[in-house]
Amino acid sequence: MNDKTKSSSDPLYAVLTGDIINSSALSGEKIKSCWEVISQTQKGFIEHYGPVIIGSPDFYRGDSWQILIDQPALSLRFALLLRARLKSEIETDTRIAIGIGSVETIHPQNISMSQGEAFTLSGQSLDDISGYFNLTGQLPDKARPMAEWFQVILYLCSEFVQSWTRRQAEIVSVALLLEPPKHAEIAKSLSPPVAKQTVTDSLKGAHWRALWEVLRVFETTIWANFVKLEEDQTGI
């Protein structure tokens, strides 16, 4: 197995760790469908944003998964897309914890065997997730107060996603891969196509405008700066 060793000067990564909600009530075939949706979502994301995801999704413990992204700014968009796809295609959902930090070693064929700060933060965050939310995350402590804002923003996004209908999730999943998302284009791309007004109403009900603003700020944030700022201040 070829491992990739990272140096301390390398940029931050985002690790997404998740598990399927109420998996014990799902059949083996339904769980398999979840893995297929996650894999296909990763492939589609790479087609739009390039090879920003390292290796393949790692599935383990029956209902858990982990994905490594080398551009943390895109981690929230991918998390939202993944939940939208699961909700719209097989009417299920997953909890997700995003950990942003450094990485020491990467096992491309078995991502969950990798090591580093981002993996630890993501795993701990999922273990500590509140029963009120299905999307959470954690930054290194040295990134405070941004670390606290980061988690709160994910909680708010989780509340929006929680209320999506299957149709809203379907339309949001298309909108997340369009920049900017044009309602007429989304309407025509669906199978079968729908009226433009249906798209407009669905996006409004899904709180799309608020989510779009969150993504805009999230994706223009240079996450590494919050860690480096603290390091500079302490003389490290």
Is residue 170 situated within a structural domain?
no
Tell me the per-residue pLDDT of 20-42, one tens digit each, with 9 for 90 and over.
999 999 999 999 999 999 999 99
Q: What CATH number does the domain containing 126 carry?
A: 3.30.70.270
pLDDT given at position 209: 95
Is residue 118 situated within a structural domain?
yes
Tell me the per-residue pLDDT of 98-122, one tens digit each, with 9 for 90 and over.
999 999 999 988 999 999 999 999 9
Between residues 180 and 105, which one has the greater pLDDT? 105
Mean pLDDT of 60-77: 95
Is residue 25 packed enough to be buried (19+ CB in 10 Å), middle (13-18) or exposed (0-12)?
exposed
Q: What is the DSSP track for 83-105? A: HHHHHHHHS--EEEEEEEE--SE
pLDDT given at position 10: 53
Is residue 221 situated within a structural domain?
yes
Mean pLDDT for the chain overall: 91
**By three-state DSSP, how is residue 214 classified?**
helix
Is residue 132 situated within a structural domain?
yes
Is residue 172 situated within a structural domain?
no
Is residue 200 situated within a structural domain?
no
Residue 19 bridge partners (DSSP):
64, 95
Chain-centroid distance, C-alpha 181: 19
Decide if 63 contacts 23 (C-beta within 8 A). Answer: yes
pLDDT given at position 107: 92
Between residues 62 and 186, which one has the greater pLDDT? 186
Is residue 224 situated within a structural domain?
yes
pTM (whole model) above 0.85? yes
Domains held by the chain: number: 1
Is residue 25 situated within a structural domain?
yes
Domain that holds residue 93: 4-163+207-234
